[in-house]
Amino acid sequence: MNAISFLRRNAAKYPQKTGFVFDDTPYTYEEVMWTSLGFANHLKKNGIGRGDKVCTMFYNSIEVVYAYFSTLLLGAVVVPINFRFVGSEVSYIINNSDAKAVIYGEEFKDVIDQIRDKLADVTFSMVLNMGNNGRKFKFAQPAPEEVSTIKNMDIDTSDEAFILYTSGTTGKPKGAVLTHYNVVWNQARNVNSPPIYRDEVMINPLPFFHSGALARFLSIMMAGGTIVSWKKFDAHQIIENISKYKTTFILLVPAMARMILGLPNLEKYDLSSVRNIILTASIVPVPLKKQVLEIFPNAQIIDGYGLTENTSSVAMSAGKDVFERPSSVGLPDFVTEIKIVNENFEEVPANAIGEIAVHGPNVMKGYYKDPEATAKTIKDGWLLTGDLGRKDEDGYLYIVGRKKDMIISGGENIYPAEIEAILDSHPSIQESAVIGVPDPKWGETVLACIVLKPGQRMSENEVEEFCMGRMAGYKRPRIIKFIDELMKNASGKTVKYELKKIYGTIEE
């Protein structure tokens, strides 16, 4: 099996079943299979083949489905790009991944045009626009022998399927290489717990370049269910369409849940079909979980812990565990082992704090073109997450400290080192430190402490303007503090814990 085999199976077994609904337009499994074959043949004729890297940049749409599946059909590798990224961030990923092709939505044409002369290895690029109903643009029907060639592509489970870039803790994003083996096992894990059935209808508003959203999208493929999404999140649109599609499963981050809870007249909607709600991506307060269940009477909340380097999933908390052990992110799934280790990679006793290490078929192949970072992260087959945690006597996992001071804002992972590297490049800035502070809407927001060089002056507006063209909007500091010096420890490192004690709360 590989990441594309389930589309083939569903197209054969349930050809007329709706597998995808984007912007309220349905697409059958058979239609998606044949259109993907046509697009794959088009890519093949333009020189794209096995092992080639193909960067994609789309909102959630039928176009991203065709871009992913057509690439995978050829044995090529999908490299999704965050559509919030600015030109310099996009060009870095395209070049670092050695991408041979770039496929993107028309909304991102200006971004790609601005960086086109900086793309080293790209030999083919195109805007993919299937039209308002998703069917206006047609690929030439491949000849029978062309279809046979593509269908008989010998894709091995060890072949690379995706490279998902994570924001780098050292300032540059790193590409987590996921094989077909990783993806299939992760799909199996997600289909198993909680069970996903063939009648499943999942509303997934999270962008498909995210590992968690992508994992759930592919899991629906394994089960033969239906995935529903729109180009942009709209709380009212989701609530209105739950009864229309008889939705059974919803993915949300806390900020989305709060927007839904803020809608008027929620009692008038029939939300009884929903069985499961994944509500995760940052710390989720118990009162918020209870509020969500009040409007979804037949649902259970699913929380958990995962990371891109493990193809998203590590541990899960569901049902009564969510409230009986509210501080826990749950138990490891059936394919994953977790142990808590000290600095010598020795397992520590129950309830002792150490680094979370993960083992299983989900663990990535490694970081693309970065053997040094890979060696530091994967030890004897165990993924060292960089997160501090503990396990209780029953094996439940608790997160104590987050990976390298990572900030989670509206479900987006933000690494301070990346922002600090950009801020420190300004000629007037001597050094900076970035932390996350609580935000009532987004969970956290970005705060930057800035030390200016002697004799220099800057305003908050100047800092904001400097950041504007250099990083995605969600990464930009929303709060800026000019200070005389950063507190350092004996080894000269900034003590962010002290900064958080001073600036760690904001007024609503």
Q: Give, rounded to a whole angstrom, the gap between the first and last alpha carbons of the chain.
A: 51
Closest of 382, 364, 498 to residue 435, by C-alpha:
498
Beta strand residue intervals within 254-314, DSSP E = 276-279, 300-305
Length of the chain: 508
Written as one letter, the residue type at 219 is S
Digit-coded pLDDT (tens) for 253-290: 888 998 999 999 999 999 999 999 999 866 677 888 99
Is pLDDT above 50 for 431? yes
Closest of 277, 306, 273 to residue 290, by C-alpha:
277
Cβ-Cβ contacts under 8 Å for 288 (sequence gap 6 or more): 254, 257, 258, 261, 279
pLDDT for res 390: 92
Q: Would you say 297 and 272 are in contact if contact means Cβ atoms under 8 Å apart? A: yes
Q: Which residue has the tokens 């060890």?
A: 158
- State the DSSP code for 303: E
pLDDT band at 76 (very low <50, low <70, confident <90, very high): very high
Digit-coded pLDDT (tens) for 5-52: 999 999 999 999 999 999 999 999 999 999 999 999 999 999 999 999
Closest of 67, 345, 306 to residue 166, by C-alpha:
306
Is pLDDT above 70 for 358? yes
Written as one letter, the residue type at 477 is P
Digit-coded pLDDT (tens) for 212-224: 999 999 999 999 9
Domain ranges in the chain are 405-503
Closest of 58, 84, 86 to residue 70, by C-alpha:
58
pTM here?
Answer: 0.85
Digit-coded pLDDT (tens) for 405-418: 788 898 888 878 78
Digit-coded pLDDT (tens) for 109-121: 999 999 999 999 9
In CATH, 405-503 is 3.20.20.60:
no
